[in-house]
């Protein structure tokens, strides 16, 4: 006779079971160790005036009319702090909601310690949608952080380093004809409205070192002294680097030299530098058939020795997850990239202050 089948059951977890009061010494030790992990976040909270950033955001992107009532919105400062958390730890909207619920340090940073409700993923998405309209929100946050860098004494110095880096986007499955239709702003034949809505129509293909990439490009201007991003522009990946130099020039830099790689080697760019009184530090391309390039190579090598500091900036963005994007429009992805640049500058400010407490480097 067969024995009756036993229904498997999951034993109750002891994870959330009430635990007896912990030793105060243990709690103190854990708090001390936790302080080391959140030291950068605590320093950023002290150095960055998020209320000033929120005021600038409300000016650039006014709140929607609330005359018809409804649930009161969360303060803009709280939402801006959540965006910095997202950018620093490369979190999606859902992950950000979970981390704020699960971790002790993040609600404190976001001023949500005593809040009964916290912003959920949909609230974050809606707030970013508000910032992305017109491309004003991300620019307002980036410029507000840049202003605070100068208020701390870190003005642009040492000359300008201009470079560009590819930011990859989710691939769009389309054949040649469908791709051409998307590039022309038309709906490919047989595509539904839903499929078109979930397709990035602003990203483009480009090639670098013989390898193809799909997405966008961030053009950045960093000062050679502090390696802080002073100007930034986001374009589709197929944009020519040399065509964007005018839009990322930083006229506030006290240095008189601009450094850039061979992608910016054009007569129009050299005339642009001359018109602004800047010394030409653009690496040169070899002319077709040119064999003796001793002086050319020596010049480019001297430029690249200093220009390599700009690569450290893009490495810092990559550590924050700034070399890929998730959204499906240029406006939303530009917002995400500018937020990464602002978060990088805030993190870099913490490092500069920590290694220069007396302000000797200023």
pLDDT in tens, 314-338: 999 999 988 899 888 899 999 999 9
Number of neighbouring beta carbons within 10 Å of residue 45: 18
Give yes or no for a contact between 349 and 362, defined as CB atoms under 8 angstroms apart.
no
Q: What is the DSSP string of 40-89?
A: HHHHHHHH--HHHHHHHHHHHSPPPP-TT--SPPPPHHHHHHHHHHHHHH
Average pLDDT (222-234) is 95
Is pTM beyond 0.85? Reply is yes
Answer whether residue 362 shows pLDDT above 80. Answer: no
Give helix 50-60 / helix 137-151 axis angle, nearest 10°: 140
pLDDT at 191: 86
Average pLDDT (295-308) is 89
Answer whether residue 48 shows pLDDT above 60. Answer: yes
State the alpha helices, DSSP H only, in 213-329. 267-275, 294-319
Instruction: Output the CA angle 143-224-344, nearest 5 degrees.
Output: 45
Residue 247: name the closest of 229, 234, 263 by CA.
234
pLDDT in tens, 15-26: 555 555 557 777
Q: Is 193 exposed, middle or buried (0-12, 13-18, 19+ CB in 10 A)?
A: exposed
277 or 192, which is more confident? 277
Least confident of 49-53, 131-135, 348-352, 356-360: 356-360
Give yes or no for a contact between 97 and 119, defined as CB atoms under 8 angstroms apart.
yes
Give yes or no for a contact between 148 and 215, defined as CB atoms under 8 angstroms apart.
no
Give yes or no for a contact between 221 and 249, defined as CB atoms under 8 angstroms apart.
yes
Answer whether residue 290 shows pLDDT above 80. Answer: no
pLDDT at 358: 54
pLDDT at 17: 56
Strands (E), 224-274: 229-236, 257-260
pLDDT at 3: 56
SS3 call for 215: strand
Q: How confident is the model at residue 130 (pLDDT cuts 50, 70, 90)?
A: very high
pLDDT at 355: 85
Answer whether residue 291 shows pLDDT above 80. Answer: no
114 or 279, which is more confident? 279
Distance CA 68, CA 340 (A): 35
pLDDT in tens, 100-113: 999 888 999 999 98
pLDDT in tens, 230-272: 999 999 999 999 999 999 999 999 999 999 999 899 999 999 9
Domain borders along the chain are 35-63+72-135, 157-332
229 or 63, which is more confident? 229
Distance CA 87, CA 343 (A): 6
Answer whether residue 4 shows pLDDT above 70. Answer: no
Distance CA 348, CA 350 (A): 5
Q: What is the DSSP string of 128-179?
A: HHHHHGGG-HHHHHHHHHHHHHHHTT----S-EEEEEEEEE-------HHHH
pLDDT at 18: 53
Give yes or no for a contact between 359 and 153, defined as CB atoms under 8 angstroms apart.
yes
Residue 340: name the closest of 45, 107, 142 by CA.
142
pLDDT at 361: 52
**70: alpha, beta or left? (left if phi > 0; alpha if psi -120 to 50):** left
Q: How confident is the model at residue 79 (pLDDT cuts 50, 70, 90)?
A: very high
Bridge partners, residue 208, by sequence: 211
Tokens of 109: 């940073």
pLDDT at 65: 75
Average pLDDT (215-230) is 95
63 or 89, which is more confident? 89
Distance CA 326, CA 90 (A): 11
Answer whether residue 1 shows pLDDT above 60. Answer: no
Distance CA 344, CA 349 (A): 8
**337: alpha, beta or left? (left if phi > 0; alpha if psi -120 to 50):** alpha
Distance CA 85, CA 127 (A): 14
Answer whether residue 123 shows pLDDT above 80. Answer: yes
SS3 call for 360: coil
């Amino acid at each position: 006779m067969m024995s009756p089948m036993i229904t498997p059951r999951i034993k109750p977890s002891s994870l959330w079971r009430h635990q007896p009061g912990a030793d105060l010494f243990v709690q103190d030790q854990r708090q001390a160790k936790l302080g080391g992990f959140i030291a950068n976040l605590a320093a950023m909270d002290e150095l960055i005036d998020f209320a000033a950033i929120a005021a600038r955001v409300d000016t650039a992107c006014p709140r929607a009319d609330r005359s018809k009532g409804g649930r009161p919105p969360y303060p803009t400062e709280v939402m801006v702090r959540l965006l910095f958390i997202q950018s620093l730890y490369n979190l999606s909207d859902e992950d950000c909601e979970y981390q704020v619920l699960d971790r002790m340090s993040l609600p404190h940073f976001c001023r949500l310690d005593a809040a009964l409700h916290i912003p959920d993923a949909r609230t974050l998405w809606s707030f970013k949608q508000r910032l992305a309209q017109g491309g004003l929100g991300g620019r307002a946050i980036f410029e507000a952080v840049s202003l605070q860098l100068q208020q701390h004494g870190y003005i642009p110095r040492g000359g300008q380093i201009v470079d560009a880096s590819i930011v990859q986007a989710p691939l769009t499955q389309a054949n040649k004809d469908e791709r051409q239709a998307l590039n022309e702003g038309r709906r490919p034949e047989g595509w539904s409205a839903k499929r078109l809505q979930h397709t990035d129509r602003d990203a483009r293909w480009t090639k670098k070192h013989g390898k193809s990439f799909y997405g966008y490009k961030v053009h950045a201007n960093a000062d050679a002294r502090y390696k802080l991003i002073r100007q930034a522009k986001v374009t589709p990946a197929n944009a020519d680097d040399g065509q964007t130099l005018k839009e990322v020039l930083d006229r506030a830099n006290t240095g008189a030299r601009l450094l850039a790689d061979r992608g910016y080697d054009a007569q129009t760019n050299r005339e642009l530098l001359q018109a602004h009184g800047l010394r030409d530090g653009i690496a040169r391309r070899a002319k077709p058939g040119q064999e003796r390039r001793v002086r050319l190579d020596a010049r480019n090598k001297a430029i690249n020795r200093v220009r390599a500091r700009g690569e450290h900036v893009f490495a810092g963005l990559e550590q924050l997850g700034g070399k890929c994007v998730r959204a499906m429009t240029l406006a939303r992805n530009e917002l995400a990239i500018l937020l990464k640049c602002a978060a990088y500058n805030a993190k870099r400010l913490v490092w500069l202050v920590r290694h220069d407490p007396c302000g000797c480097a200023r």
